[in-house]
Amino acid sequence: MAFFAVLGIPLHITIQKLSKAYGVLWALRDLNLDLPQGEFVALLGPNGAGKTTLLKLIAGLIPPTLGTVELNGVPFSSTHAPSRAQIGLLTPAGHLYENLTLRENLQFFTSLYKQNHDSTAIDAALKNVDLIGRAHDYVSTLSSGMKCRLSIAKWTLLRPGLLLLDEPYGVLDGSGVDLLENFLQAHCGKGNIVILASHHVARVLKICNRAIILHQGRLTFNAPRQQPWPDFDRAFGEFLPHGELCSS
């Protein structure tokens, strides 16, 4: 089991009693979640609900106060390289090196993950996100939307079993949004897991197959997508003005 990342076995994520406190404030408390392969999860909730905290905990960027995250029954450790290689975090401009070119960034990241991608594969990834013409430019010269496209190219090459996204839509234009959503759906179609945190509720409900809602650090809703979805409307409606519904 410990070598699942090397063997390429599809992931099953189990989160048990996951909690995070900052002083006396609980940002996340007693969260339990079970995600089999191929799940595309919309992570929803108002500002301050604990969405970003949850993503950081799963990614190993911050330690939990209590609880565990397991990958195929093995407790996740941020110091265990095969485990880290199975989890990716896509933020609009995060985890890119400004003083390297686009091609150098992709070459560097694939080498860190000990994946062999030749220049043809790297150029194909850049072409897929419409950045091949900027391959030799420094990342510092890119707009925020272009940096997000480069992050998509990065994770296209690395293919993590679990991909986490925190509010990626804001910096993307229409074609960039289409590019992102097509990539995420294809990624899940190969048996991988995606957790997407966003305030664009109507948009993410169209592409996810499960939604979870956080409120004040607690999980208040967790169910597979339906159409129509009255249970979701009731759970989310309390955060909306005038009882507006989202899933229709």
- What pLDDT, on a 0 to 100 scale, did the predictor assign at position 88? 92
**Quick one: tokens of 126?**
């850049």
First to last CA, the chain: 42
- φ and ψ at 138, to 5 degrees? -75, 145
> Tell me: the pLDDT tens digits for 45-97?
999 999 999 999 999 999 999 999 999 999 988 777 778 889 999 876 568 99
**Cα-based angle 26, 50, 81 (whole degrees, multiple of 5):** 100
What is the rounded radius of gyration, in angstroms, for the C-alpha atoms of the chain? 18
Angstrom distances, CA of residue 219 to CA of 51, 75, 212: 10, 21, 7
Closest residue by Cα to residue 155 from 171, 119, 179: 179
pTM, 2 dp:
0.89
Place of tokens 């949004």: 177
- What pLDDT, on a 0 to 100 scale, did the predictor assign at position 6? 40
Place of tokens 């996204």: 165
One-letter amino acid of 142: L
CB < 8 Å & 24+ apart, contacts of 25-30: 26/217, 27/53, 27/217, 28/53, 28/54, 28/57, 28/214, 28/217, 28/218, 29/217, 29/218, 30/67, 30/218
Domains, the chain, ordered by start: 4-240 (3.40.50.300)
DSSP string, 91-151: -SS-S--TTSBHHHHHHHHHHHTT----HHHHHHHHHHTT-GGGTTSBGGGS-HHHHHHHH
CB < 8 Å & 24+ apart, contacts of 174-177: 175/130, 176/145, 176/148, 176/149, 177/203
- What pLDDT, on a 0 to 100 scale, did the predictor assign at position 93? 58
* Per-residue tens of pLDDT for the chain, all 248 residues: 333 434 456 899 999 999 999 999 999 999 999 999 999 999 999 999 999 999 999 999 999 999 999 999 999 887 777 788 899 998 765 689 999 999 999 999 998 877 878 899 999 999 999 999 999 999 999 999 999 999 999 999 999 999 999 999 988 999 999 999 999 999 999 999 999 999 999 999 999 999 999 999 999 999 999 988 999 988 888 776 544 445 54
